[in-house]
Structure 1
């Protein structure tokens, strides 16, 4: 009985942020003007594109029974406009994202969740399907899907730094990845290389706290990762500032270059900046109109 009560309490704790998060995301999305998007793009039609294995949430009406009869797997026919209307998301839920330098700014994870859900609302209103990379909900439309996404965004990872998910990436579709990208860069390179090989274009949004950009620390300071696996103490924190800023600039430049060579776009957003401006940039970038 104790285990059941504990499980229920955890479930209630996870569900509690959903209504406020949805309300904030809907308010934020409402502030962004809807533009031409998705199926209304020139050159897209109902031509057959590819077969793919049936996923959870697919209707039996979409199964191609003749193709499925060749084996034990059920296949769905996808058309050109369906591929173009699919956007897959990854929101880094690792420990490093649960950082906020003061009560005046949100945690990086809270801002990333808000932007991800707000752009999902805009995409849904524009007739597009949205899903999560990895083992999250497959791409679908509708209010129920937005609730699934909001629920999935409440999950947290105990690892210090997040690893980009590539499972469920749909060839020739689009994707959005939101993270601080402060961990190992190699998994990001691997994920974007895989995306490029599949013809997937997308957006990298690096979410940083203002203190991570300014490095305002002085004197004796102990730096410790949110997850607790990394720790460093110094008597002269201000002496570390030039080297830190140099490495941060190098990381941002590497992400920008990586996005450019793989056909993606990169944007750095600070949590003390307007969420609306970040959402507007993201919305335009999905149509190829964003600026780095």
Structure 2
């Protein structure tokens, strides 16, 4: 049985009418790029048996065109992403996973290879890969309050998409993008926020608590905090925008109260501009 998330992602992808998209990077061919350790799901024919014979593990040959066509996804699974300010709206996590998987549907249909930013699910093409991604995205949330991008498995010269609320430590995001940029990886940052996080509509006595319960702040005059909060949120957005520009990435903020197709279209075009 296919995960319901995959059906929803395919439906969302179908609402976005786009032209043909393919590998357009000039000068990239079928030359050898690098070896990587084989992972579960790699076909036997993809394994380089000569290289594997010199070690205790199996290795796969990555080729230059494969790196150029590869897109890595990182979707924040921290507990902060489970927030919604209204039961009628999706959580930030639900929207982020839907957008990431719908983007995967569009890219794989266009001949791209899509995987995660960690080594467990390397970029591959085909419908089976979509099932792997959907299974990952329906796993339980992590234990941390805020997430940090993972980029240790990014292929050189590939592309990447990081989706998060980016409300955690900005130094972790800067480190991940700097590392990616050093490897020639370009990509997109999609910040997903709930409308309540933008508006800060709180007044009077209010208790602010993180999704894990590990962080808590009580105030009798929540309204007095609004100006400072909005200022710091604007600073965080500007910081992400500047970081993206400096590393050759793109940045966009999406709200869970807005229609999902607009954010998906932005993501797809962002990948197209980097192809």
Unmatched runs of 5 consecutive residues or more in structure 1? 1-14
TM superposition score normalised by structure 2: 0.92
Decide whether the 8 Å contact of 1:87 with 1:176 is kept in 2.
Answer: yes
Aligned counterpart, 2:45: 61
Whether 2:213 is the aligned partner of 1:228: answer yes
Decide whether the 8 Å contact of 1:47 with 1:79 is kept in 2.
Answer: yes
Per-residue deviation, 1:147: 1.2
Per-residue deviation, 1:72: 4.3
Aligned counterpart, 2:202: 217
Aligned counterpart, 2:176: 191
Structure 1 64/135 Cα, relative in aligned 2: closer, same or farther at 3 Å?
closer
Aligned counterpart, 1:254: 239
Q: Match of 1:38, SS? A: coil
Aligned counterpart, 1:27: 11
Per-residue deviation, 1:44: 3.4
Decide whether the 8 Å contact of 2:71 with 2:159 is kept in 1.
Answer: yes
Unmatched runs of 5 consecutive residues or more in structure 2? none
Aligned counterpart, 2:23: 39
Q: Distance in 1 between matches of 2:12 and 2:95?
A: 12
Structure 1 82/284 Cα, relative in aligned 2: closer, same or farther at 3 Å?
same
Decide whether the 8 Å contact of 2:39 with 2:120 is kept in 1.
Answer: no
Aligned counterpart, 1:202: 187
Per-residue deviation, 1:139: 1.7
Q: Distance in 2 between matches of 1:256 and 1:161?
A: 19
Structure 1 148/69 Cα, relative in aligned 2: closer, same or farther at 3 Å?
closer
Larger RCO, structure (CA 8 Å, separation 6 or more): 2
TM superposition score normalised by structure 1: 0.87
Per-residue deviation, 1:45: 2.7
Per-residue deviation, 1:52: 3.1
